[in-house]
Amino acid sequence: MADILSRLAEGFGEAFTVANLIFAFCGVLIGTLVGVLPGIGPVTAIALLIPLSFGLDPISGLILLSGIYYGSMYGGSTTSILIRTPGEVASVVTTLDGYEMAKQGRAGPALSTAAIGSFVAGTFSTLGLMLLAPALASVAVAFGSAEYFLLMLLALVMVSNLTTGSQLKAIIATLFGLSIAMVGIDPQTSVQRLTFGVALLSDGIDFALIAIALLALPEAFTNMAARTTSHMDAQRIQGSIWMTREDWRRSAGPYWRGSILGFLIGVLPGIGPSLASFLSYGLEKRLSKHPEQFGRGAIEGVAGPETANNAGVGGAMVPLFTLGIPGSATTALLLFVFMMYGLQPGPQLFDTNPELIWAIIASMYIGNVMLLVLNLPLVGLFAQLLKTPPAMLYSGVIAFSVLGAYALNFNVFDMLMLLGFGLVGYLMQRYDFPMAPAVLALVLGILAEQHLRRALSVSNGDLMTFVERPISLALVIFILLVLALPPVIRLLRMRRISRQHFDAGSGEGGQQ
C-alpha cells in the first residue's frame, strides 16, 4: 500500500507538469466534444489523433488519448438528455429517462446527476485500477502462451457473444476482422500470407488504418448520403441546473452500485461500457420502490447508467495495462499506441516503465476533476455544437481520416485502402454488422495466433497444455460458459414467451 502511494505521488509529479496538464485538458475537452457529437465516438477520435501523437513523448501522448476515452463518456449523456440522440452507444439507455426529465423542465438536474455520477465513477474506477492492476500484474508474470491465447480467445468470444444485436452477425464480424489480421508475413516462419505479391502488404494491413476506415468513414458516409437531413428538436435547459436534496438522495444508491458494476464489467474482456449501462438500468429498475417511474423521468435511470459507463473505462484499463490484452475497440487502439511507442503493455511494464503507468493513472484523477468543472457550467455551450451542419462536420471527419491514413506510412496505397475498407464498412453497417468486434479481432488476431502456435509447439502438439494448469483450466471453463450462455438465455426467453402466449390464449378462450 505504501508502495502504491509513493508510486502514485511520483505519478502526480509527472502528471502535474504544465505540458501534461495541458495534454490532459485537451484530451478531456476533445473527449467531451466527440462524446457530444453523434456519430463520432472515442474510437474514431483516438484513431484520427494517432498520427498527431507520433510527435509527442509517450507519457504526453497516452495522457492525451486516455483523456479522450474517459472524457467521451461524459459528453455522451448530453445529447441523450437534450435531443434523445445518444452521442455514444453507452448512453443509449440514458435517453429513456434523461429526455423525459428534460421534457419536464428538469434537464439541469439530469445533466448534473450524469456529470456528478461520472465523476464519482471515474474516480472510483481509477482507484480500483490502481489497487487491482499491480496485484494482477504480479500474478500475470507466471502466465505462459497457453494462458495468453485463452485470454485473447475469451475476449473474442465475449465480444461476439454478449452483443446487444444479432449474435451471428457479431461472430461473422469477428471472423472478418481475424481474416484481415492474417495478411502479411508470418512472424514465425517468414512465409508471405495472403499478400498476393504486393510488397506493401507484407508488413500486414495497418490496424489504425482499418480502425479509421471501419469506424469513422461509414458514419460519415451514412450521414452525408441521408436522403433527408434530420432536424433536431433540442430541449432547452430551464431553471436551476443544481439537483435538489431529493435528487441527491435518489442518486446516491445508483452512484455506488453503478461504480462497482461498471468497474467489474469493464475488467472483463469483450464487454464494454455499453453493456454496463444497460445492466445498471435494469438493476436500478429492479431495486427501485417505484419501478413504474422508469421511462417517465426517474433520476435513478440517468444516474445509474451514466455512472456505470464511466466506471467501465477504469476497469477496461486493467487488462490492458497488466496483460496487454484489450477488451474493446477503444482499448485495442490504445494498445496500438503503446506498441507504436515501442512499449509492450503487460506485467513487465510495471517494472520497466512504472513512471508511465502511474503518470497515466494520476492524470486520470486530474482529468476527472477537470471534466466535472468543465461539464457542469459549460453543458449549454457543448449542446450548441449539435447545431453544426452535417455537411461541414462529416466532410471534416473524412478529411481527418485521409490525413490519418496518409500520416501512417506516407503513401497513396494506404489512402486507397482507407477508401476501400470505408465502403466495406459502410455496407457492413447498412446490414447491421457491429464494427467493434471486427476491430478488436484485427488487433488480437495475430497475437492470439502466435500464442496458440507457440503453446502448441512447446507442448509438441498436445492439446492438454490448455487444461493442465489451474488458471488455463478455469479460463477454458469460463469460455465454454460464455459460449453456452446466449443459447440458454434464448431458450428460457422463448419458453417464457410461449407461456405468455398460452396464458393470453387461454384467457381469450375463457371469455368466449
Binding of another protein by 278 (CB under 8 A)? yes
255 scored as a contact of another protein (CB under 8 A): no
- Residue span binding another protein (CB under 8 A) among the ranges 239-247, 303-311, 396-404, 468-476: 396-404
CB of 66 to another protein, least distance (A): 19
Contact between 386 and 129 (Cβ < 8 Å): no
Given candidates 26, 127, 407, 476, which one binds another protein under the rule CB under 8 A? 407
Q: Under the phi-then-psi rule, with left for phi > 0, alpha for psi from -120 to 50, and beta for the rest, what region is 469?
A: beta
Q: How far is the CB of 437 from another protein (least distance, A)?
A: 12
- Is 409 a binding residue for another protein by CB under 8 A? The answer is no
Rounded to an integer, what distance in angstroms lies between the CA atom of residue 315 and that of residue 133?
10
CB of 431 to another protein, least distance (A): 4
Cα–Cα distance for residue pair 365/375, rounded to 1 Å? 16
- Under rule CB under 8 A, residue 429 binds another protein: yes
Of 179-187, 200-208, 252-260, 478-486, the segment contacting another protein by CB under 8 A is 179-187
* 485-492: long-range pairs with CB below 8 Å, 24+: 485/161, 485/162, 486/161, 486/162, 486/167
- Least distance to another protein from the beta carbon of 58, Å? 15
Q: Does 164 bind another protein (CB under 8 A)?
A: yes
Cβ distance to another protein smaller for residue 39 or 347:
39
Q: How far is the CB of 272 from another protein (least distance, A)?
A: 10
Residues 6 or more apart whose Cβ sits within 8 Å of residue 64: 23, 24, 26, 27, 49, 53, 56
Near another protein in 295-334, by CB under 8 A? none
| Binding-site member from 191, 286, 289, 512 for another protein (CB under 8 A) | 191
- Tell me: does residue 26 bind another protein (CB under 8 A): no
Name the one range near another protein by CB under 8 A: 281-289, 360-368, 377-385, 411-419. 411-419
- From the list 209, 204, 178, 207, the residue with the least C-alpha distance to 193 is 204
Look up residue 413 and give its three cell numbers: 496505397
**Nearer to another protein (CB atom), residue 189 or residue 506:** 189
- Show contacts of 427-434: CB within 8 Å, 24+ apart: 428/173, 428/176, 428/214, 428/218, 429/218, 429/219, 429/222, 430/222, 431/169, 432/165, 432/166, 432/169, 433/169, 433/170, 433/172, 433/173, 433/176, 434/163, 434/165, 434/169, 434/170, 434/173
Question: Please, which residues have CB within 8 angstroms of residue 226's CB and are 6 or more apart in sequence?
Answer: 390
Using the contact rule CB under 8 A, the part of the chain among 9-17, 24-32, 248-256, 395-403 near another protein is 395-403
- Identified binder of another protein from the candidate list 43, 68, 92, 475, rule CB under 8 A: 92
Distance of alpha carbon 197 from the chain centroid: 36
Q: Where are the alpha helices (DSSP H) in 104-166?
A: 107-140, 145-161
Query: Does residue 456 interact with another protein by CB under 8 A?
Result: yes
What is the nearest approach in angstroms of another protein to the Cβ of residue 11? 25
Task: Report if residue 127 touches another protein, rule: CB under 8 A.
Answer: no
* Residue 385 touches another protein, criterion: CB under 8 A: no
Stretch binding another protein (CB under 8 A), from 51-59, 99-107, 248-256, 497-505: 51-59
| Number of residues engaging another protein in binding (CB under 8 A) | 77
Examine residue 399 and tell whether it contacts another protein (CB under 8 A): yes
Contact between residue 89 and residue 301 where contact means Cβ atoms under 8 Å apart:
no
Q: Which of 12, 26, 179, 354 binds another protein (CB under 8 A)?
A: 179
Tell me which of 178, 308, 313, 332 binds another protein, using CB under 8 A.
178
CB of 331 to another protein, least distance (A): 19
Q: Which of residues 217-236 bind another protein (CB under 8 A)?
A: 221-228, 230
Residues 331-370 binding another protein (CB under 8 A) are none
From the list 323-331, 377-385, 393-401, 468-476, the region that binds another protein by CB under 8 A is 393-401
Contacts of 350-358 with C-beta under 8 Å, sequence gap 24+, read 350/133, 350/134, 350/137, 350/321, 350/322, 354/7, 354/10, 355/10, 355/11, 355/14, 355/59, 356/58, 356/59, 356/62, 357/11, 357/133, 357/321, 358/7, 358/8, 358/10, 358/11, 358/14
The terminus-to-terminus CA distance of the chain in angstroms comes to: 72
Least CB distance to another protein at residue 242 (A): 29
Nearest approach in angstroms of CB 166 to another protein is: 4
